[in-house]
Amino acid sequence: MQEWLQGRGFKPPEYIVVDSKGKDHAKLYWVSCELESQDINVTGQGSSRRRAEQAAAEKAIEQTAGGSK
C-alpha cells in the first residue's frame, strides 16, 4: 500500500496502536491506519502489532481507488 500511495504522490499511511488486550502470550492488538490524502481511517485487529497493521492496511486498500494496489 505504501508503494501505491507514494507512486501517486500521496503521504505514507500512519499507524497507531489504539488498544491491546490480553496476557503477553495471547495479546490482541487494534491498530488504526490513516490515509490523510484519501480521507480514510480504518482499524485492524491481530495477534501482533504487525498483523493488526496489515489487517488495517488491507481494509484501507479496499476503500481506495476500487481496491487497486
Cell 476503500 appears where? 63
State the CATH number of the domain containing residue 46.
3.30.160.20
39/24 Cα distance (integer angstroms): 34
Domain total in the chain: 1
Residue 37: which domain range? 2-67
Q: Which of 11, 17, 27 is nearest to 55 (CA)?
A: 17
Going by the DSSP 8-state scheme, the letter that residue 9 receives in this structure is T
Q: Is 51 exposed, middle or buried (0-12, 13-18, 19+ CB in 10 A)?
A: middle
pLDDT at 65: 61
pLDDT tens digits for range 14-30: 999 999 999 989 999 99
Instruction: Please indicate, yes or no, whether the overall pTM of this predicted structure exceeds 0.85.
Output: no
Q: The C-alpha cell of 38 is what?
A: 484519501
